[in-house]
Amino acid sequence: MNRPIELAAAPRILIPGPRRASPAPYVLPPLPYPENALEPVISSRALQLHYRKHHGGYVDTLNRLVSGTALADLSLSQLLLEVAGQPDQALIYNNAAQIWNHSFYWQSLSPNGAGTCPQVLRGLIEYSFGDLETLEEKVSAVAMSQFGSGWVWLVLDGKSLQVLKTSNADNPLLQGLKPLLAIDLWEHAYYPDYENRRGEYIAAILATLINWDFAADNLSVA
Ligand code: FE
């Protein structure tokens, strides 16, 4: 079973310890599967670049920005809340949010994805959208409507589900919503395999990789 990433805890991202002993307090979490596990939808080369260079790059940059400051003592989730909405901390916020978002994205995909949707989640999907097909159509439409870089999310909003998009590094947690799934819409996520065909990338993920079990796990701790 996949473990959801909790805003309050983010236990696998922070290495706790005294500031002086943790010059690089944030770490790149391990992928939940091998780098070639999502082929042919996401090639090994694309995934390796995305995970090591982009996700890893955000970790390296954040560590460089916060090392030796009081911010380095915070968990990733605490850090996000601390710097959100502060223009002079935008670089720290963007890198921290991108670490959180990518860790969540990798878990939103699975080599065994797009199988049976757990009953509790299916019931909520039917309550919120009518049926699973309608939800998937909405995910595709919202993803295509995002101009430029960003993310498409399935979130819990009160007692029902919503599909929404965010720009750049933004995360629905800061709107008080509970993320259940995320798909990366930055070009670096799909250009190596799909060039500019974002729609094909989204369709392939929904058809074969989307991890309903992870969404249900997140729902269970909501
Ligand atoms: Fe990305």
Q: Give the confidence band of 151 by pLDDT, cuts at 50, 70, 90.
A: very high
Rg (CA), the chain: 17
**Cα-to-centroid distance, 117 and ligand 1 (Å):** 25
Whole-number Å distance, alpha carbon 91 to ligand 1 midpoint, is 16
The percentage of residues in the chain with a pLDDT greater than 70, rounded to a whole number, is 89
Residue 51 Cα to ligand 1 midpoint, Å, equals 8
Q: 151 CA distance to ligand 1 centroid (A)?
A: 9
Q: Name the residues around ion ligand 1, CB cutoff 5 A.
A: 54, 184, 186, 189
Alpha helices (H) along the chain: 44-48, 56-66, 76-83, 90-108, 119-129, 132-145, 187-194, 198-204, 212-220
pTM above 0.75, yes or no: yes
Contact of 153 with 175, CB cutoff 8 Å: no
Average pLDDT for residues 12-23, to the nearest whole number?
A: 41
What's the CA gap between 188 and 46, in Å, rounded? 8
CA of 16 to the centre of ligand 1 (A): 26
Residue 195: its pLDDT value, please? 97
Which domains can be identified in the chain, with CATH numbers? 44-108 (1.10.287.990), 119-220 (3.55.40.20)
Average pLDDT, the chain: 90
Q: How far is the CA of 43 from the centre of ligand 1 (A)?
A: 14
Distance 149 CA to ligand 1 centre (A): 9
Residues 205-219, mean pLDDT to the nearest whole number: 96
Query: Please, are residues 182 and 99 in contact by the beta-carbon 8 Å criterion?
Result: no
Least confident of 11-20, 92-101, 183-192: 11-20
Q: How far is the CA of 18 from the centre of ligand 1 (A)?
A: 31
Query: Does 9 score more than 60 pLDDT?
Result: no
The confidence score (pLDDT) of residue 10 equals 38
Closest CA to 102 of 34, 162, 53, 36: 53
Higher pLDDT, 18 or 41: 41
